[in-house]
Structure 1
Amino acid sequence: MSVAFLVAPEGFEQVELTEPWQAVERAGGLPKLISTKAGEVRGFDHLDRADAFHVDAGIDAVGSGDFDALVLPGGLANPDFLRTQPKAVEFVRRFFAEGKPVAAICHALWILVEADLVRGRQVTSWPSLRTDLENAGATWVDEAVVVCTAGTNTLITSRKPDDLPAFDKAIVAEFAEFVRVGKNR
């Protein structure tokens, strides 16, 4: 299974990239780092600059058809930047249109709000996004992880880095289920 991890050039919460990435790898998946431009991206540990990561492909060089699933790490600046990039918003929309699973944690749901993809969905997120999500038509709950199948695809959401064990377990299970039956629907 090929899994896209979409991040901005700077400002994503590093652990929300690295831990799900490792979970996908341990499960035999092939994670690929995608950003709005080729080169390197910079993670953050809350508000502090952290490590640099090599981008596998800029968003201009790939499409949703190149992947089986999408993970959207959070961080405060990351999704705020991505939601202003039409190509990033359209990239995310295509996964929903194609019925592919999408996982988003923390503030990453902002790009889903921008793309009008949470209407009628049950989600969780960093608590400060609750009003944004409810105003966009979602039902927000305060849980470690939410798996919502009430839409065109499976949407896995989580609140914060402390919830990563539950988030990682859910994405591995849901992505594996998609490979097992979802592709053949």
Structure 2
Amino acid sequence: MPIAFLAAPEGVEQIELTDPWTAVVRAGQTPRLVSTRPGEIRAFHHLDRGDSFPVDLTVDQAAVDDFDGLVLPGGVANPDALRLSPRAVGFVKAFFEAGKPVAAICHALWMLVEADVVRGRTLTSWPSLRTDIHNAGGTWVDEQVKVCTAGPNTLVTSRKPDDLKAFDEAMLDAFATS
């Protein structure tokens, strides 16, 4: 089954989308881009406009049962927009309820806070999310990648684009064992 990549119509950090996407393809799996609107999403290189990518499914069309796992790429604007969508938040939460692996990097952990799935888990993220994670009942660590199996599923988290190699490896391991 494919791997879902959830991104807002605008604001995803391009390298945090494309690098894990390529890793999934190289591992012989099929990535599918899910968003809140059909058409295309616009990625960014920090604050500079990046490339556009075609949306495969909207969150209204996507069913968790059709995926082996979920990737949440970062970018500040991406999860900030997504967490305002009850359907997007519900989509993320459903992966936890189904016990399927989730991988999130950088600011994407805001979606985990919004979905109320960090309580009792140990995670890493962009450092500015530390207090948000703590306030949501999680434990924040400053590590390149953190794999947490304390909940119903495997959760892989990472801090930033410099950590993508370790993130991709841990993410692929989690997807392979699901």
TM-score by length of 2: 0.99
**Structure 1: which 5+ residue stretches go unaligned?**
179-185
Distance 1:48 1:17 in 2: 15
Distance 1:140 1:174 in 2: 20
Amino acid paired to 1:57: L
Does 2:38 correspond to 1:38? yes
What's the counterpart of residue 136 of structure 2?
A: 136
Distance 2:174 2:52 in 1: 29
Task: Give the count of matched residue pairs.
Answer: 178
1:104 Cα offset (Å): 0.2
Amino acid paired to 1:66: D
Distance 1:176 1:66 in 2: 16
SS in 2 for 1:118: coil
What's the counterpart of residue 21 of structure 2?
A: 21
Distance 1:24 1:72 in 2: 13
Distance 2:63 2:86 in 1: 14
Distance 2:132 2:61 in 1: 31
TM-score by length of 1: 0.95
What's the counterpart of residue 126 of structure 2?
A: 126
**Structure 2: which 5+ residue stretches go unaligned?**
none
What's the counterpart of residue 3 of structure 1?
A: 3
CA RMSD of aligned residues (A): 0.5
What's the counterpart of residue 99 of structure 2?
A: 99
1:177 Cα offset (Å): 1.2
Does 2:61 correspond to 1:85? no
What's the counterpart of residue 175 of structure 2?
A: 175
For residues 141-156 of structure 1, the aligned pairs below 5 Å read: 141-156=141-156
Distance 2:124 2:88 in 1: 22
Distance 1:23 1:67 in 2: 16
What's the counterpart of residue 183 of structure 1?
A: none
Distance 2:106 2:8 in 1: 15
What's the counterpart of residue 69 of structure 1?
A: 69
Amino acid paired to 1:81: A
What's the counterpart of residue 160 of structure 1?
A: 160
What's the counterpart of residue 109 of structure 1?
A: 109
Distance 2:14 2:45 in 1: 6
Alignment identity in percent? 67
The list of structure 1 runs, each at least 4 consecutive aligned residues, that deviate by more than 3 angstroms after superposition, is none
Amino acid paired to 1:140: W
